[in-house]
Structure 1
Amino acid sequence: MKKIGIIGIGNMGFAILEALVKKFDVSNLYISDTSEEKIKSAIKNLKIPKNNCFLDFNDLLKQIDIVILAIKPQAFEEFTKFIKIDLKDKVVISIMAGVSIEKINKFLKIKKIIRSMPNLCAQVSQALTGWISSKEVSKTEKEIAKKIFRSFGEEIELKKEDKINELTALSGSGPAYFFYLTELLEEKANFFGFTEEEARKIAEITFIGSAKVLEKSRNLPSAPLTSMDLKNAVTSKGGTTEAALKFMEENKFGEIFQNAVECAKRRAEEMNGK
């Protein structure tokens, strides 16, 4: 069995690790982070063997076959200055936004690279991960990568690398769009005079319930319903929902939202130095 390491046990790194321990033998999982507290948490809560945990990522790199880079993209170049291990036979899976395969190859001097973009929903094993690999990654190594990605959600193998920047804007940042709408609905409930507790419950349960309806509808055996189908089902002619949606359309809410996603895409490109 291949040995898998994660460098960086932040929110995403920990979420991925939490999923991996359910699908892989923990004796084959390794972690590295500069925070002793995060390492202690992984040992205590996820039962990662103490001997598989390192403060110095070079110690981890000596042990593993596949390494997941879960560090901040802004820290990548500085990170590479401290690598002391030859990585040529390793497979690197990057979850760094805006860091291309070409850039990873340039700084790490390796050929086997998988660039991916999961999202925060990995915390509940509901992430959507888009990924693409360099041509040197074997079919077997791709299958292992798929198993890793499927341990915390669903995956899509992309045909072109520039699709990663688009997926980053759509799915990588997507949870924040959902949370923002929840926040706005909660603020309006407060404005209407509901207590903070009531306002939060109104907003959160409304959106959580709606997401579950969409999930159930998506899995209908006969004819799955789309989000547009469900929106239309809620919208009665001359009713309150129609009034709200009409106001949004007249004030170009859809256009504003689309432009915001474009801003996220451009930022992903900028982070890659384009």
Structure 2
Amino acid sequence: MNEEPTIGIIGGSGWLGRSIALAMLDKAFVQPGALVLSNRSASNPLTSAKWSEVTVTSDNQALVERCEVVIVSVRPEQFAEVEICAENRLVISLMAGVSLEDVVQRTGSRQVIRAMANAAAEIGKSYTPWLATQQVSEEQKAFAQCLFETFGGADEVFSESHLNYLTALVGTGPAYPALLARSLFQHAVSSGLPPAIAQRASHAVVVQASQLIGNGRSVDELLQALISYRGVTAAGLDAMLASGFDKTIKAGLDSAASVASSMNPFAHSADTKEGPMTR
């Protein structure tokens, strides 16, 4: 692999594709002239004038032919409409539920990495687990790890079952904390707080938690320290656990993991009337 390969993103105008493009540019991981994005309109989704050198095309195969690394960031059900031949390229798939073998078969590349980034890439905080085919070299793996670290943290995993589970756990991005924030907000409002104050207070709880967890203490140490006061916090935690908090979380993750493991991303392709999609 070249020290500074040209990188292409199919789906470069979508939320995730655009976030990754901006992160790589902001961190100088790739120079604007070595980045190619594809979307239907061939319009540059990176509005800043300083990124005007980024190439944008509506032709996915033209992107592939210009790049050594091809990132596929489209919705899983749209992948059936992305017709490319990417032999001898490193292909990085960001599509939930699309197996390594599916990507190999549809792209012609044997050097494939399947990764699960999430919406927190927009703020550089995505946690991205990834899995590689046997043909991906150690050099390519190191390159991919550095790429993922431009928009957060990353770990290599070694089975599709683990990646499917992590799709359910971290691929959801802010969804689980957002659900907690909404429940806190609704309870605060039902208790008589003005909605504006209830919203700020519930958001603060979630933000504070994200800042304290991992800040020199494990989760168990943090919980034990808070429970040991045997006051308001302990009463709240005890009641939540007694009401089945852990069971609710387990049920949600089990359900999400089951869907992630059984997704058929090509189920709706026959109903698609439009041409090759990039979001």
1:19-34 residue pairs with structure 2 within 5 A?
A: 19-22=23-26, 23-34=29-40
Between the aligned partners of 1:267 and 1:181, the Cα distance in structure 2 is 22
Is 1:245 the counterpart of 2:215? The answer is no
Question: Using the alignment, how far apart are the partners of 2:189 and 2:49 within structure 1?
Answer: 37
Please list, as runs of the form range in 1=range in 2, the aligned pairs for 1:204-215 lying within 5 A after superposition: 204-215=203-214
8 A contact 1:6–1:31 mirrored in 2: yes
Question: Which structure 2 residue ranges, 5 or more long, are not aligned?
Answer: 266-279
Range with bigger deviation, 63-72 or 263-272: 263-272
Contact 1:168 1:268 in 2 (8 A): yes
- The one-letter code of the counterpart of 2:151 is F
Identity %: 28
Deviations 1:116-149 (A, max 9, x none): 1112211111111111111111222112111111
Whether contact under 8 Å (1:30, 1:48) holds in the other structure is no
Q: Find the counterpart in structure 2 of residue 3 from structure 1.
A: 6
Name the SS of the counterpart of 2:198 in structure 1.
helix
- Between the two structures, name the one with larger relative contact order (CA 8 Å, sep ≥ 6): 2
The question of 1:264 aligning with 2:256 is answered yes
Per-residue deviation, 1:247: 2.1
What is the CA RMSD across the aligned residues, in angstroms? 1.8
Q: Match of 2:68?
A: 65
Offset at 1:272?
4.7
| Alignment check: 8 A CA contact 1:73 1:97 kept | yes
Native 8 Å contact 2:185 2:198 kept in 1:
yes
With structure 1 as the length reference, what TM-score do the two structures score?
Answer: 0.88
Counterpart code for 2:237? L
2:174 is the counterpart of 1:175: yes
Task: Map Cα deviations across residues 244-264 of structure 1 (whole Å, 9 max, x no partner).
Answer: 222222221211111110111
Distance (Å, rounded) in 2 between the aligned partners of 1:156 and 1:73: 22
Give the match for residue 183 of structure 2: 184
Preserved CA contact (<8 Å) 1:130 1:157: yes
More displaced 10-residue stretch of structure 1: 249-258 or 148-157: 249-258
Deviation for aligned residue 1:215: 4.0
Is the contact made by 1:18 and 1:46 (CA closer than 8 Å) also made in structure 2?
Answer: no
TM-score if structure 2 supplies the norm length? 0.87
What is the CA distance between 1:174 and its match in structure 2? 4.8
- 1:98 corresponds to which residue? 97
- Greater CA deviation, 188-197 or 106-115? 188-197
Larger helix proportion of the pair: 1
- Residues 126 and 173 of structure 2 are in contact (CA less than 8 Å); yes or no, is this contact kept in structure 1? no
Whether contact under 8 Å (2:18, 2:45) holds in the other structure is no
Q: Distance in 2 between matches of 1:160 and 1:46?
A: 40
Equivalences for residues 106-255 of structure 1 within 5 A: 106-217=105-216, 225-236=217-228, 238-255=230-247
Structure 1, unmatched stretches of 5+, are 218-224
